[in-house]
Structure 1
Amino acid sequence: MSTTTTSPTPESEGPPRAGRLIHNESTMEIPVHLLFRDDPDPEPVPASPVVVGRRQDTGEQPFLPLRDGREAPRFRRPVAAKARPAVRVDPELVERPARVLPGVAGVLAGVCGMAGCVANSWWAGVLPPLAVHALRLPGDAGAGLGPVQWAGYAGAGALGLFGFGGLARGRTGRAWVLGLFGRYRGTVRRTGLMWVNPLLLRRRVDVRLRHWRSEPMQAADGNGVALRVVVLVVWRVRDTARAVLGVEDHETYLRECVEAALAQVPVEPPGGARGSVEAAGDALTRLVAADAAPVGLEVFSVRPVRVEYAPEVAAAMHRRRIAALDAQQRAGMLASVVDSVEDTVTRLTVRGLVELDDYERKALVKDLTVAFCAGRGEQGP
């Protein structure tokens, strides 16, 4: 009898490997980077006392130093939004009256220039005999056209052109902004005939009370629904110097101010309360007046005169409004029917006309409700 001795499996080899499930399988090594490896511990950092402090230079949140001396991340306090910078125009650009003369001065200067030309022509002997006889002048001097005569022509002609060329007519509600070589020289608000230096550049400005009805502009209500709003702006030019020279086109500037205000103020949609519409108009007036005042414009009112939904949401909002009105009408009709049924049942029972138990009462209420609803439906809204 032979005894078979089995050698023990070494502990280093581990448990025996199971048999292959697939006969042609092979084993290969795949490198794997583990997230947590048994790395040697770093050098210990001596513990330091925890110090909580606040920066002296800034009013930030308290900071907490880490063990290695670095500061832990902290949250900063929310910073308030900066105020919108106010619109500023050149402070020296302020309307002031220009120096002008009455129109009589220009007429006299022009007449003197023409008289000088006639006298110079008579002196040179080039005046026609018919004109000499008509003006009852003595015979021609016959001096001829020399340098002196040409100088006389130049002076008299310049005086006549300067006198007649400076005549201007001022109208009520209109003003002239005068400038010379790019410099503001004053504003003329006078009416009637006057004389203005013909070398000055004139720009006509309408200073009357004006109203402007805008085209449909984009706006939104309190819920962000797109609207198309037509506003009526009542305004006038108060400072002609700033309106003409402080901005490129004051009318375009005013239009853009209205558009910017409509983007900030919610407008009540069609069918809203009257008080909300007036509140929106007051808010629009304040915003537009504050933006237009630095450029010499005075805005009295900005009022929405027509409010409608944008084309892309008009159909949906119309259906929504009809559904709300229908639901409101149904709720009112139901309340009226319930009141009528209650009144009918109460009168029947109080007067002792009928004696009803709970089942009969419920049946009577049901029949009366159906009858009243059918009658209201046939009568229509």
Structure 2
Amino acid sequence: MNEQQGFSVAGIPTIVFCIALAAIAGAFYVGMVSGPAPWMGLAGAGVMGVTALMLKGFFQVAPNEGQVLQLFGKYTGTVRHEGLRWTNPFYSRRRVSLRVRNFESGKLKVNDSDGNPIEIAAVVVWQVVDTAEAVFCVDDYENFATIQSESALRQMAQNYPYDAHDDGKPALRSHGEVINNHLRDEIQARLDKAGMQVIEARISHLAYAQEIAQAMLQRQQASAIVAARERIVEGAVGMVAMALDKLRQQGVVELDEERKAAMVSNLLVVLCGDRATQPVVNAGTLYGG
């Protein structure tokens, strides 16, 4: 079922017409009182009844709002013209907001693609674009949007790992734009049947579940330490090589292989250590001690 334009006319001219009908009914009543003309009373009552019935057809349409019209249960159209309108008084009307709305899902506990339990939540921005589908294709379109968005969020989270173990594979924590686009597409696929459009969907909360949060934190700390140590060692090796090259080029001292090995060992200890080193002065020789 698709939305179609419903019948309505401007309300102000119709009010003027109703006032004119009321004046005519009053004239009939005056004529009945001034002279023996019972038919004038009946005509006045009829005109007044028509006027009262017409008054039931007035309704207001606010900006970014639609009025869904039904005639004895049959959908007849939607009115989106703003202001005071008039339609068939036998039409029943239901107000549907076309404004942009948003909600934040609850924190869902799901397993990522690696099987790790995580907590995840999202903010979804949406609006109704087809009032007929929103009203007649689902029972409660607002509740439908909430439940289907949480279902799409759960499905999406199961397709990605929390952390990226491979640079080429998207992850929940590191590839925000890819994840948000996928989430929006998943929600849109579910809300299309209800005449709703998803404007934006973004992850608002992401964390490991409490039962594994401490272990995962230790793993992240270990990974950070290993990465830092790797960088330190890489820099220290470069500095040692540069020092040996400078000593050789400037002829400061001639070192044999054993003395080079000792110097390399000492420099690496100094450069890679996480504590301040204490100098030791050797009063003898390298060979004699």
TM-score (norm 1): 0.62
Residue in structure 2 matched with residue 251 of structure 1 by the alignment: 142
Distance 2:79 2:161 in 1: 44
Q: Which residue of 2 aligns with 1:369?
A: 268
Please report how far the alpha carbon of residue 123 of structure 1 lies from its aligned counterpart in structure 2 after TM superposition.
4.3
Q: Percent identity?
A: 29
Q: In the superposition, relative to structure 1, how do residues 174 and 147 fare at CA in structure 2: closer, same or farther (>3 Å)?
A: same
Give the distance between the partners of 2:45 and 2:266, measured in 1 at CA.
Answer: 113
What is aligned with 2:217? Answer: 318
Distance change >3 Å, CA 333–CA 193, structure 1 → 2: same
SS of residue in 2 equivalent to 1:96: coil
C-alpha change, 1:270 and 1:123, in structure 2 (3 Å) is farther
Q: Cα 1:96–1:347, aligned 2, differ >3 Å: closer, same or farther?
A: same
Cα shift at 1:368:
1.8
Q: Write out aligned runs for 1:1-381 (5 A).
A: 93-123=1-31, 125=33, 140-141=34-35, 149=41, 151-152=42-43, 154-265=45-156, 266-267=159-160, 269=162, 276-374=175-273, 377-378=275-276
How far apart, in 1, do the equivalents of 2:136 and 2:172 lie? 42
For 2:117, the aligned partner's letter is A
Deviations 1:40-72 (A, max 9, x none): xxxxxxxxxxxxxxxxxxxxxxxxxxxxxxxxx
Q: Distance in 2 between matches of 1:120 and 1:244?
A: 45
- Report if aligned partners of 1:220, 1:267 keep a CA contact under 8 Å in 2: no
Do the aligned partners of residues 154 and 267 (structure 1) sit closer, same or farther apart at CA in structure 2, a change above 3 Å counting?
Answer: farther
Aligned-residue CA RMSD (Å): 3.0
Amino acid paired to 1:335 = E
Q: How far apart, CA to CA, are the structure 2 residues paired with 1:104 and 1:360? A: 104
Deviations 1:8-27 (A, max 9, x none): xxxxxxxxxxxxxxxxxxxx
Letter in 1 for 2:214: A
Higher relative contact order, structure no. (Cα contacts within 8 Å, ≥ 6 residues apart): 2
Offset, 1:204: 0.9
Deviation at 1:105, TM superposition (A): 4.7
Contact 2:122 2:153 in 1 (8 A): no
Equivalents in 2 of 1:116, 1:287: separation in Å? 61
Deviation at 1:378, TM superposition (A): 4.7
SS at match of 2:90: coil
Q: 347-356 or 277-286, which moves further after superposition? A: 347-356
* Residue-by-residue CA offset, 1:313-360 (whole Å, 9 max, x unaligned): 333322322222122112212222222222223322343322333332
More strand by share: 2
Q: Any idea what SS the aligned residue of 1:349 has? A: helix
CA distance in structure 1 between the aligned counterparts of 2:246 and 2:160, rounded to whole angstroms: 51
User: Deviations for 1:92-130, whole angstroms, at most 9, x for unmatched residues?
Assistant: x221111112214531343144324533543454xxxxx
Q: Distance in 2 between matches of 1:327 and 1:281?
A: 31
Query: What is the one-letter code of the residue matched to 1:309?
Result: Y
Query: Residue 285 of structure 2 aligns with which residue?
Result: none
**Could you list the per-position Cα deviations for residues 195-240 of structure 1 after superposition, in whole angstroms to 9, with x for gaps in the alignment?**
0223222111122344444343445443232333332333322211
The TM-score normalised by the length of structure 2 is 0.79
Deviation at 1:293, TM superposition (A): 1.5
Paired letter, 1:303? R
Distance 1:202 1:230 in 2: 36
* Larger of the two Rg values belongs to structure: 1
The 3-state SS of whatever aligns with 2:67 is strand
Give structure 2 stretches of 5+ with no counterpart. 165-170, 278-289
User: How many residues in Structure 1 have an aligned counterpart in Structure 2?
Assistant: 269
Change (3 A) 1:231 1:285: same
Shift of the alpha carbon at 1:273?
8.3
- For 1:355 and 1:199, the matched residues in 2 are separated by 108
Unpaired runs of at least 5, structure 1: 1-92, 126-139
For residues 276 and 52 of structure 2, the distance between their equivalents in structure 1, rounded to whole angstroms, comes to 90
What letter is aligned with 1:119? A
Q: Conserved in 1, the CA contact under 8 Å of 2:60 and 2:84?
A: yes
- Judging changes above 3 Å, is the alpha-carbon distance between structure 1 residues 197 and 311 closer, same or farther for their aligned structure 2 residues? farther
**Which deviates further from its counterpart, 224-233 or 317-326?**
224-233
Which structure features the higher share of helix residues? 2
SS of residue in 1 equivalent to 2:175: helix
